[in-house]
Amino acid sequence: MSDGSDFRVTLLGTGVPIPTPDRFGPCALVEAGDQKILVDAGRGATIRLFQLKIPIGRIDVQLITHYHSDHVACLPDVWLTGWLASHFGTRTKPYRVIGPTGAKRLMGNLELAYADDIKIRHADEKFPLSGIATDVTEFDADGPVYEKNGLKVIAFEVDHGDVIKPCYGYRFEYGGRVAVLSSDTRYNQNVIKHGAGANLLVHEVASARPELMKEAYVQRIIAHHTVPYDCGRVFTQTQPKLAAYTHLVLVASNTVPPPTVADIVAETRKTYEGPLEVGEDLMSFEIGSTVIVKRLMP
Ligand SMILES: [Zn+2]
Ligand SMILES: [Zn+2]
């Protein structure tokens, strides 16, 4: 079995719409062999790739989980900056996007929105149009969405709320190992089904202090996500070699502070006793016979 350095998940952004510098918008990088897959592109994704010294144009596939703006806010930046000829860009082939229904409309509208930039850079800096073209695949059901060089990616629908559809998580299979990313979801049986046997299960989490839970808008936010107690139930039922949190929805107000990471862990421990990490930006997981956690944030 490999030491895991050939199959790695790095959390580029573990945040939510809150514009904090500590946790950038939702984004994860999955590396399998020489392939690099970006899952969502939340605020700051390009900055994190630059910190990792990975040219933005080096991304082979952009996956999208759903169309909440915080998950796709940096998509135009990944697409456009990845086209620049400088060392941090370098893409000369089309930007490959795979997502649930809506991906074609999003990319088509971005092409309209940025048409002037594309025209100018092509005429002025002579960047090839092949590097700014898009190659978009949509899907509308559970199943494989990508397969290449031993990497298989399976999309599975999750439950992010009655009107927040479509929304999908992803399961990555590579060399007999499995990493699963839940996307945004409530407690959901499909995550348990597709998370079964995972070496790494990365799950979202949301929490608010009891005094804030009286507010209707807070109840609405929490109802779209999974509280730590229920995340623990998911982990106990899937038994991953390592469970990790990302997308920390820590609800606060002007007067009520957010729950702490320790609060979230304590709640999780009521229903789950196994290995658990609370994700941080630039935390990486090397998936071998064990999962090795590395923190890259300076
Ligand atoms: Zn969402
Ligand atoms: Zn979200």
The pLDDT tens digits of the residues spanning 137-189 come to 999 999 999 999 999 999 999 999 999 999 999 999 999 999 999 999 999 99
- Digit-coded pLDDT (tens) for 185-202: 999 999 999 999 899 999
d(CA 124, CA 139): 37
- Digit-coded pLDDT (tens) for 243-255: 999 999 999 999 9
Q: Is the pLDDT of residue 1 over 80?
A: no
Q: Give the Å distance between the CA of 26 and the centre of ligand 2.
A: 7
- Digit-coded pLDDT (tens) for 49-78: 999 999 999 999 999 999 999 999 999 999
Q: Give the Å distance between the CA of 66 and the centre of ligand 1.
A: 7
Q: Return the residue matching tokens 């490999």.
A: 2
Closest ligand by atom to 42 CA: 2
DSSP state of 260: P
- Digit-coded pLDDT (tens) for 205-222: 999 999 999 999 999 999
The alpha carbon dihedral of 246, 251, 255, 261 has a sign of negative
pLDDT band at 4 (very low <50, low <70, confident <90, very high): confident
Q: Give the Å distance between the CA of 136 and the centre of ligand 2.
A: 22
Q: Give the Å distance between the CA of 17 and the centre of ligand 1.
A: 9
Q: Give the Å distance between the CA of 116 and the centre of ligand 1.
A: 30
Q: Give the Å distance between the CA of 166 and the centre of ligand 1.
A: 10
| Predicted local confidence at residue 244, as pLDDT | 98
Q: Give the Å distance between the CA of 36 and the centre of ligand 2.
A: 22
Residue 9: closest CA among 292, 269, 275, 268: 292
Closest ligand by atom to 168 CA: 1
- Digit-coded pLDDT (tens) for 9-39: 999 999 999 999 999 999 999 999 999 999 9
d(CA 237, CA 5): 27
H helices within 65-170, ranges in order?
69-72, 75-81, 103-113, 115-125
A 10 A CB-CB count for 154 gives 19
40: left (phi over 0), alpha (psi -120 to 50) or beta: left
- Digit-coded pLDDT (tens) for 92-114: 999 999 999 999 999 999 999 99
Structure tokens at 237: 């039922």
| Predicted local confidence at residue 232, as pLDDT | 98
Q: Give the Å distance between the CA of 177 and the centre of ligand 1.
A: 27
Structure tokens at 127: 């960047």
pLDDT band at 298 (very low <50, low <70, confident <90, very high): low
- Digit-coded pLDDT (tens) for 253-269: 999 999 999 999 999 99
Closest ligand by atom to 164 CA: 1
